[in-house]
Amino acid sequence: MGKEIIEAQNVVFGYPLEGGRKSPVLRDVSLSVAEGSFVAVLGHNGSGKSTFAKHFNGILTPDSGTVTVCGINAAQEDRLYDIRRQAGMVFQNPDNQIVATIVEEDVAFGPENLGLPPEEIRRRVDKALTAVGMAEYMHHAPHQLSGGQKQRVAIAGVIAMTPRCIILDEPTAMLDPQGRREVMEAIKKLNQEQGITIILITHYMEEAAQADRVVVMNDGRILLDGTPREVFSHVQELKDVGLDVPQATELCWRLRQEGCNLPEGILTEEECAQALAQLLEVGPHACH
Amino acid sequence: MLAIKTEGLTYTYSVGTPFEKTAVDHIDLEIEQGEFVGVIGHTGSGKSTLIQHFNGLLKPTSGRVLIHDTDLWAKDTDRRAFRFKVGLVFQYPEYQLFEETVYKDIAFGPVNMGLSAEQVDQQVREAAAFVGLREEILQKSPFELSGGQKRRVAIAGVLAMNPDILILDEPTAGLDPKGREKVLGEIKAYHKKRGNTVLLVSHSMEDIARYAHKVLVLNRAGVMMYDDTAAVFSRAEEIWKGGLSVPQVTRIFSLLREQGFPVNESVYTMDFAVQEILRLLGKEASHA
């Protein structure tokens, strides 16, 4: 902890338009991510969050400014393989990320391409599938799996490369609630038990609430950056930029506006229920 | 009048192969005309298979499907007509846009219905207005638009057929909170104005809680519940066990009930939650 794994400085980026112009997406964004942290990135569609994330493993390179990943400048084309081994990426649709017809072969795809000895590949595949709770499915065909299971296989494929950092771009958008829970559990475990840095882009506020740090992007800039408690206390500001807060946070915020005496920074349903219980115990005097 | 009725509806994929799988198993269902129904179920619960029966895209392996009292698969039924009466918006419909202009894409359905040019024009413009697409966008190529706009064009293409029954499969997947609210608000307004039947398939319990009057819960190829939204979400534990979830406010209120507070059993929206707490405190909401 403490060491920076990703360091973005004054990043400016635009997608090319006809006639040589560019449509600006990132307007001078700087961010450092400490190794071992779990950072959630929020922002409305078009805020630039996916574009920004694609700079973290060299899929895109800045028009100006620099991005350093594990000490390597991501603009150095000859170091791309090194960067991608250290910083793996998981996308929204699991069906677009699975290449083999058997789960264990899919997870082995990356390590095989590194030219590792078979025993090492075997060890990594087993370890990666165990880490995401999919070891018992290693001989299954991916199409027989649920969305949450497929997404965990995709994550295992990244882990088998032993990265220090995983960037997930809305990995739960296409999943049902059970699948979402499974993927979030897997991500948190990798972060806590293996110390892998997690960058999670999501539209689900309840998922962001589980991170150590939340970064909110708007119009190609960073609008808010802090712990979930700090960031989600800016309810009105978040709503103004088309975002939301967890329902637990919103309920307390709405009741505070009605004059009820409730603390700020409520994030989880347990905290909310506890705060409401105290409010109800006090009775009508708790509101003015 | 019943909009949709199924009798012993069963559908089995890949009959006679090792992959044989019954996705919909003896479903008896009655959906009233004019209802706004939320459809929830985990991946593989049979949702998509079921809804594809309602406009005749799939033929039941056994059992019957009746739309407005007409058996879709009776000998003399004109099934083509039901493709227009029952409009189906698939997941990620923006990938299905294909015309040169937005206008032509929305007009595709009405033109195929054999409507006059004037009628087509009117229905295209009405549908575009419903989903908030401005006039000047109509002559653009759909591929120049943002993801959210493309999604709206695809939905407008189905609305332009003026379907009596509108079925949407995850229309808000991948949209940010503001985008979700906008699209669902437009569908709600359409439902209110047309008085047609709407089926909304979603993994977002918060969205279902906010917009649907009734909820259909599918589990393991069968109907687990079909009831008013309040009644369904008051059975939180069963829903949770079915791999689904309930809105976070509902869970907060379950916790309060467990602690012995006399709160209503079926709190499922934010407004309801605020009012319920204020009621217990003997206070009126200031702007409910």
When pLDDT is cut at 50, 70 and 90, the band that residue A45 belongs to is confident
> CB-based contact (8 Å) between A102 and chain B?
no
The torsion defined by the Cα of B122, B127, B131 and B133, in degrees rounded to 10, comes to -40
Residue of B nearest to A170 (CA): B174
Distance CA A204, CA A207 (A): 5
Distance CA B46, CA B38 (A): 14
Residue of B nearest to A49 (CA): B176
CB contact under 8 A, A242 and B273: no
> CB-based contact (8 Å) between A284 and chain B?
yes
Chain A residues touching residue B281 (CB < 8 angstroms):
260, 279-280, 283-284, 286-287
CB contact under 8 A, A177 and B177: no
Helix (H, G, I), strand (E, B) or coil at B41: coil
Pairs of CB atoms within 8 A across A/B: 122
> CB-based contact (8 Å) between B264 and chain A?
no
Q: Which of B148, B192, B155 is nearest to A242 (CA)?
A: B148
Q: Provide the pLDDT for residue B287.
A: 55
CB contact under 8 A, B175 and A203: yes
Residue in A44, A277, A283 closest to B281 by CB: A283
Residue in B177, B248, B259 closest to A243 by CB: B177
Q: Which of B91, B203, B258 to mutate to test the interface with A (most CBs of A within 10 A)?
A: B203
Note the pLDDT tens digit of each residue in A138-192. Answer: 999 998 888 889 999 999 999 999 999 999 999 998 888 888 998 999 999 999 9
Q: Measured in whole angstroms, how far is the alpha carbon of residue A47 from the centre of its chain?
A: 15
- Contact (Cβ atoms closer than 8 angstroms) between residue B154 and residue A53: no
Q: Which residues pair with A287 in a beta bridge?
A: A260
Q: How many Å from the N-terminal Cα to the C-terminal Cα in chain B?
A: 34
Q: Which of B246, B255, B281 to mutate to test the interface with A (most CBs of A within 10 A)?
A: B281
> CB-based contact (8 Å) between A260 and chain B?
yes
Chain B residues touching residue A170 (CB < 8 angstroms):
174
Chain A residues touching residue B42 (CB < 8 angstroms):
146, 176-179
- Nearest CA to CA, how far is A247 from chain B (Å)? 6
Chain B residues touching residue A243 (CB < 8 angstroms):
176-178
Helix (H, G, I), strand (E, B) or coil at B46: coil
Q: Which of A287, A247, A260, A207 is nearest to A41 (CA)?
A: A207
> CB-based contact (8 Å) between A279 and chain B?
yes
Strand arrangement of the beta sheet that strand B62-67 belongs to: B21-32, B2-13, B62-67, B70-71
Q: Which residues pair with A216 in a beta bridge?
A: A42, A224
CB contact under 8 A, A174 and B249: no
From residue B5, give the alpha-carbon distance in Å to each of A95, B46, B116, B169: 34, 17, 32, 19
> CB-based contact (8 Å) between B205 and chain A?
yes
pLDDT surpassing 60 at residue A6: yes
DSSP codes joined into one string, A69-112: ETTEETT-GGGHHHHHHHEEEE-S-GGGT--SSSHHHHHHHHHH
Residue B255 half-sphere exposure toward CB, CA atoms < 13 A: 19
pLDDT, mean of residues A2-17:
90
Q: Which residues pair with A276 in a beta bridge?
A: none
Residue of A nearest to B280 (CA): A280
When the pLDDT of each residue in chain A is averaged and rounded to a whole number, the result is 92
Cα torsion angle, A113, A118, A119, A122, sign: positive
Distance CA A39, CA A224 (A): 13
From residue B242, give the alpha-carbon distance in Å to each of A40, B45, B46, B168: 28, 10, 13, 22
Q: Measured in whole angstroms, how far is the alpha carbon of residue B235 from the centre of its chain?
A: 21
Q: Which of A54, A28, A176 is nearest to B48 (CA)?
A: A176
Q: Provide the pLDDT for residue B175.
A: 84
Residue whose pair of structure tokens reads 């687990």 in the numeric block: B224
CB contact under 8 A, A173 and B178: no
Q: Provide the pLDDT for residue B194.
A: 92
Distance CA A56, CA A7 (A): 9
Distance CA B196, CA B234 (A): 27
**Cβ within 8 Å of B, A 13-52:** 43-46
Q: Which residues of chain B, if any, have pLDDT below 70? A: 285-288
CA Rg, chain B, in Å? Answer: 20
Q: Which residues pair with B37 in a beta bridge?
A: B199, B214
> CB-based contact (8 Å) between A278 and chain B?
no
The torsion defined by the Cα of B198, B203, B204 and B208, in degrees rounded to 10, comes to 30
Tokens for B148, please give them.
């959210």
CB contact under 8 A, B281 and A260: yes
Residue in B146, B173, B256 closest to A46 by CB: B146
- Nearest CA to CA, how far is A258 from chain B (Å)? 7
Q: Which long-range contacts (CB under 8 A, 24 or more apart) does B180-185 make?
A: B180/B204, B180/B207, B182/B132, B183/B131, B183/B148, B183/B151, B183/B152, B183/B155, B184/B210, B184/B211
Helix (H, G, I), strand (E, B) or coil at B11: strand
Helix (H, G, I), strand (E, B) or coil at A255: helix
Q: Provide the pLDDT for residue B145.
A: 85
Q: Provide the pLDDT for residue B247.
A: 92
Q: Which of A182, A280, A281 to mutate to test the interface with B (most CBs of B within 10 A)?
A: A280
> CB-based contact (8 Å) between B249 and chain A?
yes
Distance CA A6, CA A197 (A): 10
Tokens for A50, please give them.
């996916």
Residue of A nearest to B42 (CA): A176
- Contact (Cβ atoms closer than 8 angstroms) between residue B43 and residue B49: no
Residue of B nearest to A272 (CA): B252
Task: List helix spans (H) across chain B.
Answer: 47-51, 79-85, 102-112, 117-130, 147-159, 177-194, 205-211, 229-233, 236-241, 248-258, 270-280
Note the pLDDT tens digit of each residue in A75-103. Answer: 998 999 899 989 999 998 888 888 899 99
Q: Provide the pLDDT for residue B286.
A: 64
Residue in A176, A206, A269 closest to B42 by CB: A176
Is the full-model pTM beyond 0.90? no
> CB-based contact (8 Å) between A156 and chain B?
no
Distance CA B189, CA A250 (A): 25
